[in-house]
């Protein structure tokens, strides 16, 4: 028993080293991560180097990109670059909050249902199916419409509370296949409790799958938040990429030829979601030996 228990951590370390070896050589993964990290860095440090507030008015209205206003100005003279960098920060924040909450709930429900089984599994599976069939976007529309004050955190919270069911079902299925493995039986025989077995034995063997699940939830949260922002149900204070698109549409930027108002936020949303998808495909190739490019 001791020999097997000691061999498991060594095997996991070998798997991690092998995955890292293929990860740094995977073009899709590196490209996706580079784009996401570059935009994240711009969103984090960009506002520190912008003198104008994102919604500050100036006399230079409808100005195209210049040395003074890199992304031009709106019909009200607001600096679009200032809005862009602040919007990037808000977009990543709602992705982290929404994706993180959905991932945590999905993992807890999926692990417990898949490992414990029986009545607990039936109850959690019924709850998952109920949430799954509820039109989440319609619920978010109703909730956001009746909230007096909407913030990025509140938006991310409600997105996370409605996006976890598919992750829970997928994690439950994976847990079912792992709970009868030898290393889990050994941990059970040694007296480890349910929580310890899930945290120390099952979850580490699903770490790659869990990370890929979070990436998909992150991208989904960004898309949902942008959709809510575009139809006018975004944060009531501050700025986001979706709100920039909504304002550009509301004030006829396309008809006025002000491409610099709607192209940057639209391109950034596409870049974030697309890069996350490409990175997720790269991760699948890294962790699946059949898909690796040698």
Query: What are 215-265's pLDDT values in tens digits?
Result: 999 999 999 999 888 887 777 777 899 999 999 999 989 999 999 999 999
Kindly report, residue by residue over 19-63, the tens digit of the pLDDT: 677 778 888 999 999 999 999 999 999 888 887 788 888 778 898
Bridge partner list, 80: none
Q: Which of 283, 248, 151 is nearest to 291 (CA)?
A: 283
Q: Tell me the chain's radius of gyration from C-alpha atoms.
A: 23
- Dig out the tokens for 183 from the structure: 């290393």
Phi and psi at residue 26, in whole multiples of 5°? -95, 115
Whole-angstrom distance, CA of residue 246 vs CA of residue 78 = 15
Q: How many residues does the chain have?
A: 294
Considering the chain, what percentage of its residues have pLDDT values greater than 90?
47
Q: How many CB atoms are closer than 10 A to CB 120?
A: 12
Residue 155, pLDDT > 90, answer: no
| pLDDT for res 148 | 64
Classified as helix, coil or strand, 187 is helix
Distances (CA, A) of 209 to 21, 102, 281, 284: 18, 15, 12, 9
Whole-angstrom distance, CA of residue 101 vs CA of residue 96 = 8
For the entire predicted model, the pTM comes to 0.86
**pLDDT (average), residues 157-161:** 90
Lowest mean pLDDT among 95-109, 122-136, 260-274: 122-136
Whole-angstrom distance, CA of residue 266 vs CA of residue 198 = 41
């Amino acid at each position: 028993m001791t020999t097997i228990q000691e061999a498991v951590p060594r095997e996991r370390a070998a798997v991690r080293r092998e995955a890292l070896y293929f990860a740094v050589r995977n073009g899709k993964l590196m490209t996706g991560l580079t784009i996401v990290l570059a935009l994240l860095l711009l969103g984090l440090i960009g506002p520190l180097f912008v003198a104008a507030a994102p919604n500050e008015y100036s006399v230079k209205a409808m100005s195209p990109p210049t040395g003074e206003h890199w992304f031009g100005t709106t019909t009200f003279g607001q600096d679009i670059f200032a809005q862009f960098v602040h919007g990037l920060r808000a977009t990543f924040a709602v992705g982290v909050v929404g994706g993180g909450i959905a991932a945590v709930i999905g993992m807890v429900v999926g692990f417990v249902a898949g490992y414990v089984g029986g009545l607990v599994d039936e109850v959690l599976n019924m709850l998952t199916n109920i949430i799954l069939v509820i039109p989440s976007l319609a619920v978010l529309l109703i909730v956001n419409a009746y909230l007096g004050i909407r913030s990025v955190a509140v938006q991310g919270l409600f997105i996370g509370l409605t996006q976890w069911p598919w992750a829970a079902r997928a994690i439950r299925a994976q847990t079912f296949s792992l709970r009868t493995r030898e290393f889990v039986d050994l941990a059970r025989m040694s007296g480890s409790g349910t929580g310890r077995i899930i945290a120390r034995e099952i979850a580490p063997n699903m770490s790659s799958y869990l990370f890929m699940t979070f990436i998909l939830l992150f991208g989904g949260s960004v898309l949902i938040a942008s959709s809510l922002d575009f139809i006018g149900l975004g944060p009531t204070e501050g700025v986001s990429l979706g709100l920039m698109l909504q304002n550009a549409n509301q004030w006829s930027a396309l008809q006025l030829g002000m491409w610099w108002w709607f192209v940057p936020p639209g391109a950034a949303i596409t870049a974030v979601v697309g890069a996350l998808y490409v990175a997720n495909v790269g991760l699948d190739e890294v962790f699946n030996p059949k898909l690796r490019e040698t």
